[in-house]
Structure 1
Amino acid sequence: MTNIDFKAEVEARKTDLLADLFSLLAINSERDDSQATAETPFGSGPVAALKQFLSLAERDGYATKNVDNYAGHFTYGDDLPDEAQVLGIFAHMDVVPAGTGWNSNPYEPEIRDGKIYARGSSDDKGPTMACYYGLKILKELNLPLTKKIRFIVGTDEESGWGDMAYYFKHVGLPEPDFGFSPDAEFPIINGEKGNITEYLHFSGENNGRVHLHEFSGGLRENMVPESATAVISGDLVDLNAKLETFIKTYATKHIRFDIENGIENRKIVTLHGRSAHGAMPEKGVNGATYLAKFLDEIGVESAFTKIAGTLVFEDHAGKKLGLAFEDAKMGALSMNAGVFKFDEHSSDNTIALNFRYPQGTDSDRIYAVLTKLSGVAKVTKSAHEHLPHYVPMTDELVSTLLSVYEKQTGLKGHEQIIGGGTFGRLLKRGVAFGAMFPGDIDTMHQANEFIPVDVLLRAAAIYAEAIYELAK
């Protein structure tokens, strides 16, 4: 390995790195299908962030390519022979919805107590810029490389990955030979579970002593719903007292509620939980399932609330549904009930269940079990599915990245397999690498998302050396 002090090189560029990162964090790049056009396939925000990122690369002298505002890349090493291998680096500019509960504007980044607070600070704009500056250091030091580098940035990682599907189909270049995504944690993520969302469909029929008119909860399938709202009528005597008792029963979950008056003696009840990443639903408090349980207890008779409030309630492994499964290497299946939609006048009400499943089971088995649930009209699958992915420890990509991590941190590297899905799985020889360190607080997909400045700088130094070792 080289003796260059990459940490010192990063520190010398700290001010510029933070300025460039803030220029990206200030852009609300949530997917917005209401703004989708031929020019803005996932809304105007993701496009704006993509263009800003590519403009930074152009400023620094890279050759860039924007593939119809779906994704883009810049290249380094164009002077190398055509047959030179290509190292791919995959990142993304889109973010999940900010939601509520922030102590500051999620799109006005600020540093408090050494932490950068903003939506996208840790997922994935912060790690992206740490990696970008890692490569920038190699370029400015003019270190000799034998492999080309293609830094690819998408705009739909948090949804259906339509950006990468379009990119690979239209970019006119072969896939990189190997690569990594700075969109997870250290020491490495060399395995990822399969990922599928399956939708339970219900009629609007319900005829209990409490009538459910509407129910909504959740922003994205890969987020734990932080809150849910129901419109109800009927036997609502002592509704406030019943809610107070319910809240006290689950006091350790820190849930809370609001009640408003609606039309025609209806009540609008909102229950607030806590959001979390859908790959780790146990870290959140699913406001939708708690509200469904409450409604089930006070007299709503609906398959929608029965399943949400009993079979799905507080079960992140699918045990009550009969879906629990565990693989010795890849771990256990997990389930996140992410989006709930109900209208009494609709014949197609849905609960979206997002599954992260290990090798040894599959989406068809999950589907077969779900179709047998009483009260479910039908089950459908999302169009996009990720199959389980694994790159062995013996692969030079994995061993090189771990050796860099060990050198820079003094910590022992080891393999990790997660339920989350990253762009690392786009390549057969692809992994995720950083930027969270062991013991760091994970605030991805949560209110008050942050990344510590020192973590950002440590990661940038690791990325610089890692890219050099992989491409030298």
Structure 2
Amino acid sequence: MTNIDFTAEVEKRKDDLLADLFTLLKINSERNDDEANKENPFGFGPRKALDKFLELAERDGYVTKNVDNYAGHFEYGDGDEVLGIFGHLDVVPALAQEGWNTNPYEPVIKDGNVYARGASDDKGPTMACYYGLKILKELNVPLSKKIRFIVGTDEESGWGDMEYYFAHVGLPEPDFGFSPDAEFPIINGEKGNITEYLHFDGKNDGDVVLNSFKSGLRENMVPEVATAVISGKGLKLSPLTEALEDFVASYKSKALHFEVTENNHKFTIVLHGKGAHGAMPEKGVNAATYLALFLTQFNFTAGASAFLSIGGNVLLEDHEGEKLGIAYVDELMGNTSMNAGIWNFEEGKDATIALNFRFPQGNTVERMQEILGKLTGVTEVTVSEHLHTPHYVPGEDPLVQTLLSVYEKYTGKKGYETIIGGGTFGRLLKRGVAYGAMFEGETDTMHQANEFKPLDALFKSAAIYAEAIYELAK
């Protein structure tokens, strides 16, 4: 370990770090396919964030490369081996109606935390890691390996950024590396990731009609809000409101709340739950499943009946797929998890529920698809083209051991290997892991309203990254 006091070096630069971070946080870098074109493959926001990050790197003396606005990088140092660092600048959507107390793209500091979309995932950690390397550069610390710092713009969706980057960058992949996009002490194993879509017939002409049902922003987010429009015989606003009040009261621990309105004999019900990262669905309250359960008391028919029955009776709290029948546990990698992330039903059209699975080695996409196809009322099961297979770097690998030793030095806690359901850019390399920046005991607000990052954790992670990069590349 070096005798450089990286904590003190971060302290000298914390104002600059925050200023640069705020510059990135103010950019709404949600993917927007309506804006996508050749120059903006994922919309204007992700492109703008990439441009700004590379501008900061050029300011600090790096030679940058923008790979057709999909991703970019800069390199530092020389050597035959290349250490890759992977961050991402895109963010999941942030909607005011989902409970934000501040503008998600006007970062604010309150009670020692910086609040903004991307503060924790992944602009905050990416900037902390950037400053870790910046310290080494400004101190002119000798290194024996080349460092390639890579940032993407589509990590939260389909990883089309990295697919394009590696196909067009014209350079060999880094030999090993890490992504500052998860938690400490380390993530050296990641489950597979696939989305499978349940299809339903949208026709329904019973006493009560499901005109529409919408919920979810991304497949990897627990839906916080669900909206259904229903119409039919015998429906009246007052009894419907009373039924919703009774339903919400019966699930008091879930802190559900609702609004219901009537317009032209159609009733719109909006139910609110709690968002969470789709890799940890048990941490959220899936509003769509609870709204589906509530609606099963009415006499829907055909595809609407199947859609609501599966949604409310099978998918409700079925985080490991036991009721679905796809549950699978591996001794090393653990269980399969399921998040019902996006729901679309429009009367008379093909309806879908997107199920995002994080699965261990031994489970397969084909096995789950076959089982799901046997669900009553499901007309078809299709599979996303974006498949990530299970990934694992052994705990005895020097990469893992080095990163754990740095973590132990700065925290005084024993490091240990971890396998998660989340997917990070760490899995892009055979010898790739995720490393920070969330500490044990830190509140996880990724993919949620009022996302924040504690400032002390941000600065501590920057010091850890500085020493980790040094130890890996010295």
TM-score (norm. length: structure 1): 0.98
Instruction: Give, in whole Å, the separation in 2 of the partners of 1:212 and 1:371.
Output: 23
Deviations 1:9-56 (A, max 9, x none): 000000000000000000000000000000000000000001100000
Q: 1:397 aligned to 396, 399, 404, which one?
A: 399
Instruction: Give, in whole Å, the separation in 1 of the partners of 2:204 and 2:317.
Output: 23
SS of equivalent residue, structure 2 residue 37: coil
Matches within 5 A, 1:157-196: 157-196=155-194
Letter in 2 for 1:136: K
Q: Which residue of 1 aligns with 2:436?
A: 434
Instruction: Give, in whole Å, the separation in 2 of the partners of 1:465 and 1:33.
Output: 39
Task: Give 1:206 shift.
Answer: 2.3
Deviations 1:279-313 (A, max 9, x none): 00011111111111111123333111111011111
SS of equivalent residue, structure 1 residue 179: strand
Q: Which residue of 1 aligns with 2:131?
A: 133
Q: 2:86 aligned to 85, 90, 101, which one?
A: 90
Instruction: Give, in whole Å, the separation in 1 of the partners of 2:154 and 2:307.
Output: 30
Structure 1 stretch displaced more, 230-239 or 373-382:
230-239
Q: 1:337 aligned to 323, 336, 340, which one?
A: 340
Q: Which residue of 2 aligns with 1:217?
A: 215
Instruction: Give, in whole Å, the separation in 2 of the partners of 1:239 and 1:444.
Output: 35
Structure 2 residues not aligned, in runs of 5+: none
Task: Give 1:324 shift.
Answer: 1.1
Structure 1 stretch displaced more, 106-115 or 321-330:
321-330
Instruction: Give, in whole Å, the separation in 1 of the partners of 2:367 and 2:328.
Output: 11
Matches within 5 A, 1:243-282: 243-263=244-264, 265-282=265-282
Instruction: Give, in whole Å, the separation in 2 of the partners of 1:42 and 1:253.
Output: 35
Letter in 2 for 1:85: E
Structure 1 stretch displaced more, 39-48 or 205-214:
205-214
Task: Say if 2:40 and 2:47, in contact at 8 Å, map to a contact too.
Answer: yes
SS of equivalent residue, structure 1 residue 216: strand
Structure 1 stretch displaced more, 295-304 or 219-228:
295-304
Instruction: Give, in whole Å, the separation in 1 of the partners of 2:29 and 2:439.
Output: 25
Q: 1:369 aligned to 351, 366, 371, which one?
A: 371
Task: Give 1:205 shift.
Answer: 2.1
Aligned residues: 466
Task: Give 1:260 shift.
Answer: 1.5
Instruction: Give, in whole Å, the separation in 2 of the partners of 1:151 and 1:262.
Output: 54
Structure 1 residues not aligned, in runs of 5+: none
Deviations 1:331-362 (A, max 9, x none): 1100000000001121x110000000011111
Q: Which residue of 1 aligns with 2:243?
A: 242
Task: Say if 2:215 and 2:288, in contact at 8 Å, map to a contact too.
Answer: yes
Residue 470 (str. 1) matches residue 453 (str. 2): no
TM-score (norm. length: structure 2): 0.97
- The alignment-based identity, stated in percent, is 70
SS of equivalent residue, structure 2 residue 253: helix
Instruction: Give, in whole Å, the separation in 2 of the partners of 1:383 and 1:356.
Output: 15
Residue 106 (str. 1) matches residue 104 (str. 2): yes
Task: Say if 2:204 and 2:348, in contact at 8 Å, map to a contact too.
Answer: no
Q: Which residue of 1 aligns with 2:66?
A: 66
Deviations 1:382-415 (A, max 9, x none): 0110000000011110000001111111110000
Instruction: Give, in whole Å, the separation in 1 of the partners of 2:130 and 2:348.
Output: 51
Q: 1:151 aligned to 139, 149, 152, which one?
A: 149
Root-mean-square deviation (Å): 0.8
Q: 2:330 aligned to 327, 341, 348, which one?
A: 327
SS of equivalent residue, structure 1 residue 336: strand
Task: Give 1:329 shift.
Answer: 1.2
